[in-house]
Amino acid sequence: MASESSTKLDLAAHLGELRTRLIRCIIYQAAGTIVAWFCYDYLLAFLVGPMTRALPESGSFLLTSFPEAFMVQIQVALVAGLTLAIPGISFEVWRFIRPGLAADEVRIARGLVPLAVVLFAGGVAIGFLILPAAFKWFAAYTPSGAELRPSLQDSVLFSVKMLLAFGLVFELPVVLLIAAKTGLVTSRVLLAQWRVAVLIIAIVAAVATPSGDLLSMMVMAVPVVVLYFLSIALVRMVER
């Protein structure tokens, strides 16, 4: 009975802590969204900037309904607010799971988190650099007599998807390191199956890039292949 009561108390304490941290995460998200709302003009210019360069001088974005501009601002504020809240949310998640980790797991996590942030930021940066060329490639297929006036909402959503796809795909080394630590893969297996890995990376790049053009696929796939071979070296270090 005493053991059962202790278990119930521990569960209640964990649930109480989880609720507190979830509330804090919601507060971080709300604060980030408010900040992003007032910075909307700068955020919108950042997201549609690559497309603007691909539009003709007389080109402009099209609003297809009255609420569209308002909905775009809400969506941009929510996504940007989440981005701003990620450090705070990550801190709350870390504080919640930290007591259940062993010392070596804590050490590994402290190394993987900064690596994941750097890789995600690098992927987003490369995605942003490739967007102007991708949009110019699409704009070149505009037939004679047609006017290119893309929807504002679709354009913003497209840019967000592209940047998110690049950021997530660049997390491959982190995924492989975690898999190696849990014993799912080894450096020898990764090296032996590099041809299969390159094929899978090419397929993922083709699926992950919303544009589907060859240039974007190559710009995503080539750095990820390099990261794959770099991951093999990192996995070998973890094994040692």
pLDDT for the residue numbered 29: 93
Task: Print burial letters for 3-32: b (CB count within 10 Å at least 16), e (below 16).
Answer: eeeeeeeeeeeeeeeeeebeebbeebbeeb
pLDDT for the residue numbered 240: 67
Six token digits for residue 57: 């001088």
Picking from 150, 153, 204, the residue whose alpha carbon sits closest to that of residue 175 is 204
Q: What angle do CA 141, 52, 37 make, to 5 degrees?
A: 135
Cα 71 from Cα 90, distance rounded (Å): 28
Q: At a CB cut-off of 8 Å and minimum separation 6, what does 219 contact?
A: 126, 130
pLDDT for the residue numbered 39: 93
Torsion of CA 49, 170, 83, 62, to 10 degrees: 30
Q: Note whether 169 and 205 are within 8 A (CB).
A: yes
Report helix, strand or coil for 151.
strand
Six token digits for residue 12: 């209640």
Local mean pLDDT, 10-residue blocks, the chain (240 residues):
57 80 93 94 86 70 85 92 88 82 75 83 85 79 77 85 85 85 82 87 78 71 86 80
pLDDT for the residue numbered 211: 59
pLDDT for the residue numbered 57: 64
Cα 194 from Cα 235, distance rounded (Å): 14
Query: CA quadruple 199, 139, 133, 68: dihedral positive or negative?
Result: negative
Report helix, strand or coil for 228.
helix
Picking from 167, 24, 168, 36, the residue whose alpha carbon sits closest to that of residue 91 is 24
Six token digits for residue 8: 């119930």
